[in-house]
Amino acid sequence: MKLQISLWARNLKNAAGALKGTSDPFGVLSRVAMDSASQASVLGKTEVIKNTLSPDWVKVFAVDYELGTPVKVAVQIFDEVRKGDNKSMGSAVFDVGSLLGAKGSTQAKKIKGGGTIFAHVVKYVGHGTLRLAMKGIKLTNTEGFLRKSDPFFELKKKLNGPHGTMWDSELMKGACHETK
């Protein structure tokens, strides 16, 4: 069976330091090797959420799961550093079977040094293809005389996440180009 895991965290310790502002956390989800015959594998990385110690990531991760077979996933949280190495903010390991059996299919794990990582699992919802055609007609220049506006578009999709309805703005962004 295919499952999807969503993540969020609360009250993380600020890894940026008092003089550099608030951390920009992102998470990395990996499947843990359960025996010497299997290998650990990175399932993906969340988006970076700027200036927060309680991120709600939108990215979800697909995990294959077979009832009765132990599957564990590790969550590592980092503070994004533009110049240099990203700073670790903590980590936790979740057993997917225990996660499925937990109330609301959600579990929380305390992080050494401060904060809590949450994981939520639901049955995987497949993705399809959506094709759109868009066109901007007679757009107004908002930049004033002798300057030209740079119009852009942003598509959002509605998600029913662990904290209610959310809008995923990472679906698609782009600049509008003039065509003749």
The per-residue pLDDT for 180 is: 44
- For 81-105, the pLDDT digits (tens) are 988 899 999 999 999 999 999 999 9
Question: If 0-12 CB within 10 Å is exposed, 13-18 middle and 19+ buried, where does residue 103 land?
Answer: exposed
pTM, two decimals, is 0.69
Return d(Cα 169, Cα 103) in angstroms, integer. 29
Instruction: Parse the chain into domains and list their residue ranges.
Output: 2-123
- For 20-48, the pLDDT digits (tens) are 789 999 999 999 988 877 788 999 999 99
Q: Which CATH architecture has domain 2-123?
A: Sandwich (2.60)
